[in-house]
């Protein structure tokens, strides 16, 4: 699986500014355990940690099935949207690894009018959300590309990912289309106050310094009711779930880095191992050791 970050706007000036979230970076480090190793041709499986929404662009000739919670998708469409998730997304891939493009809540607000909470822990086709800018992008003939190549990818992406040139071309084309759609929609999108609150909630979650929704609402100078409305509408889950998910992912990363030492999780506000294991059951559906060992195989 190749991950190409979208440039998510962090201000209200309509510009696309590169700024991957801390939560996204934390997830990516653990996800990399099962995705960055060389693979032989044929079928393989990967697991993605719970997090924000993402686009999957599936190359022609590749078949991808998926499971999230108790939902199984026998075959995903060429361009699929994985909604905000509270449990891992397991992908069974037969063919070339798909391109993955994370979508921040700001991206979501500018690409679709669908409420994010209605898509939580679900996978649908991009057109089902009214996202038409990616129509036929997976059918693009790489051999006849005119001026679109992996050269348009940022140098830091080129350094980070060793990709099949055709897949890199596909990623570049998809990112360009999404970026154009985000800019165009921003002209007639949300009011400044709402956009600012979405960006501020993203930053607060990334900071990892707040554990409860009431404190978050106070710091963002809004009511708990309004914060919950914003969170469900564009983040997919209530503020409490978002804050808990970020804390758990951060603790899981440290847990993995230290050889699965439970003593390290106390730095993230967990009282003891049982407290951490309760969150693991909520966000992984299993114990941390079992999950990490499974994706490490």
> What are the boundaries of each domain within the chain?
2-186
Residue 2 has pLDDT above 80, yes or no: no
Say what percent of the chain tops pLDDT 70.
Answer: 75
Is 155 within 8 Å of 163 (Cβ atoms)?
Answer: no
Cα dihedral across residues 182, 184, 190, 195: positive or negative: positive
At 99, list the tokens.
């391109």
Distance, in Å, from the CA atom of 8 to the CA atom of 179, rounded to the nearest integer, reads 9
pLDDT at 29: 62
- pLDDT tens digits for 268-283? 889 889 999 999 999 9
Residue 289 vs residues 47, 137, 177, 253: alpha-carbon distances, Å: 14, 39, 40, 12
pLDDT at 1: 46
- pLDDT tens digits for 86-122? 999 999 999 888 888 889 998 899 899 999 999 999 9
Q: What DSSP character marks residue 69?
A: T
- pLDDT tens digits for 29-54? 666 555 544 455 578 888 999 999 99
Q: What is the mean pLDDT of residues 123-145?
A: 80
Q: Is the pLDDT higher at 28 or at 217?
A: 217
In this prediction, residue 214 has a pLDDT band, given cuts at 50, 70 and 90, of: very high
Average pLDDT, the chain: 81
- pLDDT tens digits for 73-82? 999 999 999 9
pLDDT at 12: 31
pLDDT at 257: 87
As a 3-state breakdown, the chain gives helix, strand, coil percent values, each rounded to 5, of: 50, 15, 40
């Amino acid at each position: 699986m190749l991950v190409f970050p979208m440039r998510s706007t962090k201000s209200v000036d309509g510009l696309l500014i590169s700024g991957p979230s801390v939560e996204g970076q934390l997830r990516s480090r653990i996800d990399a355990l099962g995705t960055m190793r060389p693979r032989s041709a044929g079928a393989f499986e990967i697991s993605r940690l719970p997090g924000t929404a993402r686009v999957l662009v599936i190359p022609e000739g590749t078949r991808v099935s998926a499971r999230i919670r108790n939902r199984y998708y026998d075959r995903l469409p060429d361009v699929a949207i994985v909604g905000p998730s509270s449990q891992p997304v397991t992908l069974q891939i037969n063919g070339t690894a798909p391109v993955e493009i994370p979508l921040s809540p700001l991206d979501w607000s500018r690409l679709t009018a669908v409420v994010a909470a209605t898509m939580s822990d679900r996978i649908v086709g991009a057109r089902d959300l009214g996202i038409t800018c990616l129509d036929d992008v997976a059918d693009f003939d790489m051999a006849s590309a005119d001026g679109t190549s992996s050269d348009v990818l940022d140098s830091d992406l080129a350094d980070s990912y060793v990709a099949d040139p055709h897949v890199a071309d596909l990623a570049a084309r998809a990112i360009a289309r999404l970026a154009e759609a985000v800019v165009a929609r921003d002209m007639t999108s949300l009011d400044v106050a709402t956009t600012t609150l979405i960006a501020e909630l993203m930053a607060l979650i990334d900071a990892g310094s707040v554990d409860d929704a009431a404190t978050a609402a106070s710091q963002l100078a809004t009511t708990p009711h309004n914060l919950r409305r914003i969170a469900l509408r564009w983040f997919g889950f209530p503020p409490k779930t978002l804050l808990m998910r970020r804390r758990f992912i951060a603790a899981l990363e440290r847990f993995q880095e230290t050889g699965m030492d439970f003593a390290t999780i106390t730095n993230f506000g967990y009282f003891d191992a049982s407290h951490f294991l309760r969150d693991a059951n909520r966000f992984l559906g299993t114990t941390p050791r079992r999950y990490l060992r499974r994706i490490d195989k």
